[in-house]
Chains A and B, each alone.
Chain A
C-alpha cells in the first residue's frame, strides 16, 4: 500500500514538474512561429504600408507591447545574473540562506519568462500586422539574426528549465555544474538582448564608421555615391572621409541596403545600448526583487519571514545600487555616441525637443539616489554600533539634495518665464543659477552624488564592525584623503569645464571626472576590504527590524526604475522622429510625429500600471503556489502514513 502511494506521489510529482515547461513552450512556439514567418508574412502584405490598430492606434499598441516586453525581458535577464552570483556566494560560504534566496529569484523568473515570451509574440504580431513594410525591410536586412535569435531562445529556455528544476537535484558535488548552467543561462540571455538591440539601434543609427566597413561595403558605398553625383571623381567622393567618418549603410537615394548583416548589427549605437541595458537590467532586476521582498516583508506573519525578506530586500537593493552607480557613465557614453552619429539628433536630444525630458529624468534619478541612500541609512538603524556614522548624515543629505537640484536645473527658462522675468534675468538664463544648467555642472553633480552614495554604502558596510588592522588609522586617513581630494578635483575640473571648448570638455574633462570617481570606488573598496578583513563584530544586524517606511522606499525605487526605463524608451525611439529607419525609411503614417512629453508619460503610466499588475499577479501566483505546497505536504504525509 505504502509503495503504491509512493508511486502515485512520484507520478504526480513528475507530472507537476513537466506541466510548467509544457505551458511555457506554448508562447515560445508562438514566438518562434511568428518570428520565422515574419519575413514571409510581411512580404505577402507588403502592398499595405500601414494597418490601423483598433481603438488605441498602431503606435500606442506597438509602444505598450514593446515596453512591456522590454520590462519583463529586463527582469528575466537581470535576475539570473545575480542569482548566479548569490548562489556562488552561498556555495563558497556554505550559507544556505543565499542558496534559498537565489532559488526564490529564479522561481520568480519562471513566471516572468513565459510572460516575456507571450508579450514578444504579441509585439511581433502587432508589428507585422500594423507595419508590414517596415518589418519587411528589417527582416530583409536582419533575417539571419532572427534565426539566430530563435536558436538562442531555445538555448535560454531549456537552460532555464535545467537550472530551475535541477536546483534541488544538483546540490553537493554537482553544484559546480549547476553554477555552470547559471552562467550559460546568462550568456544566452545577454546574447539574445544583443541580437534584438541590433534591430532597434539600427533603426536609430543606420550607419557605421568608415574604418569598420569591409572593402566590399566601402566599394558599394563609393559606387552609390558616384552614381548619385554624376561628374564626381573618386578623389572628390573620398574628400574628408577618414576612418571615423559615419557612413550610411544605404544608398541615400534609393534606400538600397549596401552593407553586410554584421555591419548593420554593429551600427553606431549598438554597443553603447548593449552596455547601458546590461547594467540597467542588473539595477532593474535588483530593484524588482527588492520590491518583491518589501511586499513579502510587509505581509509577513512571522519574525523569521520578516528577517528573511529584510535580508532579501537589502541584497536586491545592494545589487540595484551596484548597477545604478555606473549607469550614468554608460548613459553618458550612449549620449556621446548619438551626438557623434548625428549632431542634429544630439542637439535634438539634449537641447531641443527632449531637453525637458531630461529634467524629468533628473527628478527620477534624484529620487533613486535619495531613496537608495535613505534605505542604507535606515538599515544602519538595525545595526548596533552604527550610530557613530549618524553625525555625517545631515551633510550627506545636503550634498545629495544640492547635487540633485543642480542636475534638475534647466538650461534655459525661456519657455517658462514671462517677458518681465526674462528682462529681469537679462536673458533666458538665470544670471547665477543658469550656470548649473550647463553639462559641466551637471556632470560634476552626478559624480559627487555617486561618491556620496558610495560613502553611505561604506558606512553601512562598516557598521557594527571594528577593524583590528594595525594600520587602521593610516587607512582611514588615506580613505578620507582620497574622498576629499577626489571631490575637490571633480569640482575643479567642473569649474574649468565652463571655460574650455565643448570638444575638450566632452572628450577630456568629463571622462577624467568619471575616471576619478571610478578609481576612488575601486581604491577605497580595496583598502576597506583589507582593513576590515579580521574586524571584530561590535554589534549584530537585527534582520527584520527595519521600518515599514524603508520597505516603501524599496517599492518607490522599483517604480522609479521602471518609469525611468519607460521614459527613456520614449526618448530613444522618439529621437528617430518621423523615421522608421533614420534617414532611410520615412514614417508616413498618421502617427509620424513625436508625441508631447505629457502624452508620452501618460502612456508610460498606463504601461507601468499594466506591468505592475502583471508582476503582482506573478508574485501572487508564487505565494499561492507556496501556500498550496505548504498545505499539500502535511496532507500527503498523512496519506503516506
Chain B
C-alpha cells in the first residue's frame, strides 16, 4: 500500500514539476521560503519513478527526462531576445534610454554579432565601439558625434573605418528593420560609450515609405546661418568657379590664388533640384559625384596630351575642352580607339584608376592578350577578347623593363636573367638577348601591362572640407539650401527695383 502511494506521488510530482518547469512557475514556497527549484523536484521524482515503477512507466519517465534535459540545457546558454516594443523614449532619464539601446544592440539590432564594445576583444568583422560616444566626433571632419552616428547607422557605407569592408546592412531595412525609436535608443547607447547622450530629436535621412532610396530631400543635418554662409561662399573662393545669381564673381586676381579658376556648375538653383545630402556629400567628398560636363580629365591620344574638361562621353568617343594660355577654349573630339596605351607599373585598382582596356602577356604565353576590362578582382582581371572573355592572373604576367642609360638611350625588353642588383642583366629585346651593364643604368621602370585610361576627377580640391571649420561648413550648407532659384529671384527683385528707382 505504501509503495503504491510512493509510486503515485512520485508520478504526480514528476508531471507537476515538469509542467511547472516548462511554464516557468516560481519555486514551490513553504513558509514563505523557496524550498527548491522545480528542476530539482523533477530530478528527484525521475529517480524515484525509475526505482519504483516497472518497465512501461520507467520508459515514460526516461522519455520525459530526456525531453526535460534538452529544455534545461537550452535554459543555461546565453540568449538574446528581439522582443522589443518601444512606443516612446523617456528622455528625462537618458540612462534608461541607453539601456534600451543596449538591449537592441545585443538583440534585435544584432549589432553585437559584428561589433564589440571591448578593447581587449580580438578584431571582429566590424570596428570595436569602445568610447565611440567620444570618438565619433573625430571620425569625419565637419560632423559632430551625433550626426556621425546617425549617418553611420542609416547609411553605413558612407564612412567606412579603414581596414573594414562594406558589410554592415542598412538596419532600418529588412531583415533587421529597426524603427526610428529603436535607432534613437541605439544612438543613445553608443553615445553613452564615453560620451554625452544628446536627446535632441533628428529627422531620419531616409524615406521609409520607399526602401529603394536612401537619401530623400531632407533638411540639412547641420544648422547654420545663410548670411554667414554667403560670406564663406565668397571667402572660400567657391565663387571663383561656381556662379550664383546675385553674387558677383571677383575679377581675375582678386580671388584666392590657391585655386585655378575653372568652369564649374552654376549653383543658382542647386537646392531646387538636389537634396541637402547631396550638397553635403559634394562638399565633403568632391569626387563622389561629378556633374556631367564638369569633370577634369587628362588623356593621351596620338602622342598628344589633352588636359581639360570632359564635355561629353559615349561608347565610342569623348569630347574634351581645353583652355589655351590666352584663355581661348577649344573642343577636341577623340575616338576611344585613338587613346594611347599607357604603361602600368602595378596592376591594382585598374578600374578605379580609370583604365578601361588592358594589354598584358601571361607568364606562360608568348603573345600578349588585349581587351576591354569587364571585371576586376584583387588577383585577376577579366578582359573581353573577341566575342568571349578571358580571365587573367594579375601576378603571373611577363614584366617589361624600360631602361634609360646615361647616354639617354631607352631600351625596352623582358628580363631573361639577373636583377638590377646584379652586375649584369640580360634582356630579351625584340627576340634577341642583350646584356646590360647595370652600372650604366640611369633610370629604370618595370611595366607589367599597358592600358587605355580615362579618369574623370573633380576639379574641386579634395582637401576643400579640411579648409573649412565646422561652423563655416554648416553656414555654407545653410546658404546653399536657400539657392532654390525662386528665392534668388525673390531676393533679386526688390534689390533690382531699388536700384532702378535710385536711378
Contacts and interface: CB of A to CB of B under 8 A. Distances in A.
Contact of B113 (A351, A548, A563): A351
B108 interface: yes
A609 B212 contact: no
A457 B295 CA distance: 72
Interface stretch (B74-82, B340-348, B362-370, B445-453): B74-82
A609 B22 CA distance: 11
Interface stretch (B63-71, B138-146, B404-412, B424-432): B63-71
Contacts of B120: 422-423, 426-427
Given A342-B175, A579-B175, A555 B63 contact: yes
B55 interface: yes
Contacts of A555: 59, 62-63, 66
A577 B82 CA distance: 8
Interface centre among B55, B79, B107, B120 (most CB of A within 10 A): B79
A428 B113 contact: no
Given A583-B174, A605-B67, A428 B121 contact: yes
A364 B81 contact: no
B440 to A, nearest CB: 44
Given A299-B55, A356-B77, A605 B175 contact: no
Given A344-B175, A347-B114, A414-B116, A595 B64 contact: no
A585 to B, nearest CB: 10
Interface string A251-284: 0110000000000000000000000000000000
B70 A356 contact: no
A342 B116 CA distance: 22
A439 interface: no
A559 B175 contact: no
Contacts of A577: 82, 175-177
Contact of A356 (B66, B78, B81): B78
Contacts of A586: 174, 177
Contact of A298 (B55, B75, B82, B211): B55
B82 A579 contact: no
Nearest to A298: B55
A251 to B, nearest CB: 10
A606 B23 CA distance: 10
B177 A578 contact: yes
A597 interface: yes
A552 B23 CA distance: 27
A299 B175 contact: no
A22 to B, nearest CB: 32
A414 B81 contact: no
Contacts of A351: 113-114
A563 B67 contact: yes
B80 A353 contact: yes
Interface string A326-359: 0000000000000000111101100111011001
Interface string B74-113: 1101111111110000000000000000000001101011
B82 A253 contact: no
B113 A360 contact: no
Contact of A593 (B73, B83, B113, B169): B83
A276 to B, nearest CB: 21
Interface residues of A, number: 61
A443 interface: no
A594 B81 contact: yes
B77 A299 contact: no
Contacts of A609: 64, 67
A228 B67 contact: no
Interface string A388-420: 000000000000000000000000001110000
B122 interface: yes
Interface centre among A252, A356, A552, A601 (most CB of B within 10 A): A601
A576 B55 CA distance: 44
Contacts of A353: 80, 82, 107, 110, 113
A221 to B, nearest CB: 13
B118 interface: yes
A360 B75 contact: no
A294 to B, nearest CB: 8
Contacts of A360: 70, 73-74, 77
B210 interface: yes
A582 B114 contact: no
A353 B79 CA distance: 7
Contacts of A422: 118, 120-121
A399 to B, nearest CB: 23
B110 A359 contact: no
B78 A415 contact: yes
Contacts of B73: 360, 363
B44 interface: no
A444 to B, nearest CB: 21
A598 B79 contact: yes
A211 B85 CA distance: 41
Contact of B121 (A342, A427, A601): A427
B201 to A, nearest CB: 25
A416 B67 contact: no
Contacts of A72: none
A348 B122 contact: no
B59 A595 contact: no
Contact of A253 (B55, B66, B83, B212): B212
B86 to A, nearest CB: 12
Given A352-B112, A559-B67, A605-B71, A427 B122 contact: yes
A442 B62 CA distance: 30
B118 A428 contact: yes
Contact of A583 (B68, B85, B175): B175
A352 B81 CA distance: 11
B118 A593 contact: no
A601 B70 contact: yes
Contacts of A556: 62, 66
A295 interface: yes
Interface string B20-42: 00111000000000000000000
A3 interface: no
A595 B81 contact: yes
Interface string B114-144: 1010101110010000000000000000000
A416 B78 contact: yes
B6 interface: no
Given A253-B210, A609-B64, A601 B71 contact: yes
A612 interface: yes
Contacts of A298: 55-56, 59
Nearest to A297: B55
B335 interface: no
Contact of B174 (A352, A415, A552, A579): A579
B227 interface: no
B167 A343 contact: yes
Given A229-B212, A598-B75, A295 B59 contact: yes
Interface centre among B66, B83, B122, B167 (most CB of A within 10 A): B66
A577 B68 CA distance: 26
B293 to A, nearest CB: 17
A602 interface: yes
B113 A348 contact: yes
B81 A596 contact: yes
A608 interface: yes
Interface string B150-177: 0000000000000000010100001111
B64 A299 contact: no
A384 to B, nearest CB: 28
Interface in A553-575: 555-556, 559-560, 563, 567
Given A353-B82, A597-B77, A582 B116 contact: no
Query: What are the 6 closest A-B residue pairs judged by CB atoms, nearest first?
Result: A352-B113, A601-B74, A415-B78, A228-B212, A593-B83, A583-B174
13 contacts: A298-B59, A344-B110, A344-B169, A347-B125, A353-B110, A415-B78, A555-B66, A559-B67, A567-B70, A578-B82, A578-B177, A601-B75, A605-B71
Given A422-B118, A577-B82, A597-B77, 10 more contacts: A228-B212, A252-B212, A253-B211, A352-B80, A353-B107, A555-B59, A595-B81, A596-B80, A601-B74, A612-B63
